Amino acid sequence: MGTAHGDFADSISLTDLYADPYPIYRTLREIAPVAWVPVAGRYLVTRHQDITALEKQPEIFSAAEDGSLMTRVMGHTLLRKDGDAHRRERAAAEPPLRPRIVEAHWRPKFEANANELIDSFVDRGEADLFDEFCGPLAARNLAMVLGLDGVSDIDMQRWSQAMMDGGGNYADDPEVWERARRAGDEIDAAVADTVARVSRTPDESVISAMIHAPDPLDIEQIRANVKVFIGGGLNEPRDSMSVAIWAVLTNPATRDAVVSDPSLWRSVFEEAIRWVAPIGMYPRQVAQRVELGGVTLEPGSKLGICVGSANRDESVFERPDEFDIFRPSRPHVAFGGGPHFCLGTWVARAQVAQVALPTLFHRIADLAVSPHGEVRLGGWVFRGLLTLPVVWTPS
């Protein structure tokens, strides 16, 4: 006979998780914080304290998942490696992503990109900011950071989507594999061009850093890691931007506060990724028998680390479903934790909190959600807005 929490976990559907995972997470945190969820094919871990604890034990909770679809699509990236193998690749990619380089080198470029995009629609008085600002800006910034000069916003976004769809192709859809394979080939060709250029003339890009590192990466490692950057460094800034813009547009008191004190944009960004974590769930695999949240997990057990849930854990955040930039500061886990803690946090903060949000609201003072369009929100593994139609008085 099933238990109450087993029945609840069995009843969870992917459609419900996609539409709104938060009520499901709330119940799981309360009755089954580590629960086998059949549609996910893994134990979902939903409490803040369990997630922060497991990220401190990477030798037990491994990132090297067996049968990883991400590895099938991208090759063996740093995100699916543990220990020294991971540390070495991370160290090679990391120098251009440090705060000092981001501030001095990347931020002015992000500003130019944001202004150029706003110029392209500011006279019109209406736009879908998801399609015309957030997506292209994140794509353009990421291409620059990687060193993929000349790659279009459209190709970057198409490649990113193909990588993400392939990494989540649990339905084994042959068309999805084919799209991912083609995108992978195109990425490899673009990487080859950059490698040829930066081998001769080093620059501040991530690909250049990987080649000229004291312990350089080989071409297979560079190809795989560029794919993980493209699959994991575009949609999160895009989604955090659109969610933050929407939250500010729909909270007049917050809007007034940030317009009069722009230093608050940083809080807007951090609260937006707490409120709707762009990566809502990521995988781990149990390497040694262990107890977590009252459940004994055997080696090989697959876990879904639900940071989207941890960020709404009521034992850490009061009124967790509300967007509130003045809430007491508590550590959210939208950037993950442990050895795989997001490598792009400073790039993300610069492009969203320091550039995209203040520039947009400064240049278009009367921006408003369009009364005619529909704002749509979806996803649970990756979650964010799908549309953001807005209007303003054209300049």
- Joined tokens for residue 318: 């009061």
Beta bridge partner(s), residue 295:
292
Looking at beta carbons only, is 63 or 195 nearer to ligand HEM?
A: 63
Within 13 Å, how many C-alpha atoms sit on residue 384's CB side? 26
In 93-181, DSSP assigns E strands to 126-128
Could you tell me which of 284, 288, 328, 282 has the C-alpha nearest to residue 309?
Answer: 282
Least separation in angstroms between CB 240 and ligand HEM: 4
Query: Least distance to ligand HEM from the beta carbon of 239, Å?
Result: 7
Residue nearest to ligand HEM (CB): 344
Question: Which CB, 332 or 391, lies closer to ligand HEM?
Answer: 332
Interatomic CA distance for residues 221 and 351, integer angstroms? 27
Tokens of 244: 């933050």
Residue with tokens 């945190």: 29
Name which of 134 and 176 has its Cβ closer to ligand HEM: 134
Residues that bind ligand HEM (CB under 6 A): 78-79, 90, 142, 145, 228-229, 232-233, 236-237, 240, 273, 278-279, 282, 307, 334-336, 340, 342-344, 347-348
CB of 2 to ligand HEM, least distance (A): 31
Query: Whole-number minimum distance, CB 104 to ligand HEM, in Å?
Result: 16
Nearer to ligand HEM, 129 or 347 (CB): 347
Distance CA 192, CA 164 (A): 22
Q: Where are the alpha helices (DSSP H) in 80-173?
A: 83-93, 99-101, 107-121, 129, 135-146, 153-167
Residue 390 and residue 375 in contact, taking contact as beta carbons nearer than 8 Å? no
* Residue placing its CB nearer to ligand HEM in the complex, 335 or 380: 335
Q: Please give the single-letter amino acid code of residue 134.
A: C
Minimum CB distance to ligand HEM, residue 373 (Å): 24
- Nearer Cβ to ligand HEM, position 228 or 391? 228
Identity of the residue, 275 or 392, whose beta carbon is nearer to ligand HEM in the bound complex:
275
- Only one residue has tokens 């997990």, namely 297
Least Å from the CB of residue 359 to ligand HEM: 17
Nearest Cα to 243, choosing from 145, 366, 357, 162? 357
Name which of 292 and 391 has its Cβ closer to ligand HEM.
292
**How many angstroms separate the Cα of 241 from the Cα of each of 45, 269, 273?**
27, 8, 9
| Helix residue ranges, H only, 168-289 | 174-200, 206-212, 219-232, 235-249, 252-260, 265-275
By beta-carbon proximity to ligand HEM, the closer residue of 121 and 282 is: 282
> How many other β-carbons are positioned within 10 Å of the β-carbon of residue 122?
16
- How far is 355 from 353, CA to CA, in rounded Å? 6
Cβ of residue 347: shortest distance to ligand HEM, in angstroms? 4
Shortest reach from residue 78's CB to ligand HEM, in Å: 5
What 8-state DSSP symbol labels residue 77?
Answer: -
Rounded Cα–Cα distance for residues 369 and 246 (Å):
8
Shortest CB 81 distance to ligand HEM, Å: 8
